[in-house]
Amino acid sequence: MSEFRSIGFIGLGIMGKPMAKNLIKAGYNLIVYDIVPSAMKELVSLGAQAASSPQEVALKSDGLIITMLPNSPHVKEVVCGENGILKGAKEGAIIADMSSISPVAAIEISDKAKEYGVYYLDCPVSGGEPKAVDGTLAIMAGGDGEAFEKIKEILLIMGSSAILIGDVGSGSVAKLANQIIVAMNIAALGEAFTLASKLNVDAEKVYEAIKGGLAGSTVMNAKIPMILERNFKPGFRIELHIKDLRNAVEAAQSGEVNIPLTKEILNFMEQLKEDGKGQDDHGGLVQYYEKISNIEIRRK
């Protein structure tokens, strides 16, 4: 069992709540915080202790604080703010930030944490809500190797894999690469299945025919059944994928990399958000193609 018996956990949204639940099921004591007080109630009912601030979370933990937050500014505030983690963390404590943020921001936060003698690891995840629930997320990490090894067994309670990519920021770069590939997969599904539907071919039978071939993918198997049922209940919202692709564009600009397809798909998602669909699952990107072709992809 890990040396960290009492773990801090900040951010109890769609992803954070089931991740925190898995840690409780594994026997860990959690000190939890979320800006929405009601988000903490279910965890408290399962035995977690509610805190009033990130600072209190850090003070009451054994030296590991996990964060799962929407974007870079939220992580900066929670870690470095007036009542932030660094104001309560012990020297040698580890912050495992499992949010999806800019690699530039991850490095800035890590540099600040070093001033307090605190380790910061960027540990974003892939898999969405279903894999957060069943504890099979893919975790990609950047940061100090010894700190990573100390928390790896805890990460593997929430994920089926946890890989140290390299220095701080590299985990976030890996996640951006992941998000680019997922976005392009969904865009390809939208384009291909809109074509099939518009030409009066049964989309479900097309899926059954091609899923076992080279075009088959985890994304296809996860999203096409939902699309055929017109189910866009969010496991990962379009507006959050927009955030990730914006971070990818920012990182690309800082590295003088041209990513034209990413920019194009980002534009499609932003148009959907303007249409009021930002809260839809990112599989709802297919609605952009449906709109411009005046067709719906659905089960016959």
The two tokens of residue 250 are 């920012």
Helix, strand and coil percent figures for the chain, each rounded to 5: 55, 15, 30
Fill in the DSSP letter of residue 9.
E
- For CA atoms 203, 208, 211, 217, the dihedral sign is positive
Distance CA 153, CA 135 (A): 13
Distance CA 184, CA 18 (A): 27
Cα 172 to Cα 251: distance, rounded to the nearest angstrom: 10
Q: DSSP class of residue 122?
A: E
Residues 6+ away with beta carbon under 8 Å from 287? 190, 232, 272, 277, 280
Active site (catalytic) residues: 175
C-alpha–C-alpha distance, residues 56 and 65, integer Å: 11
Structure tokens at 4: 């960290």
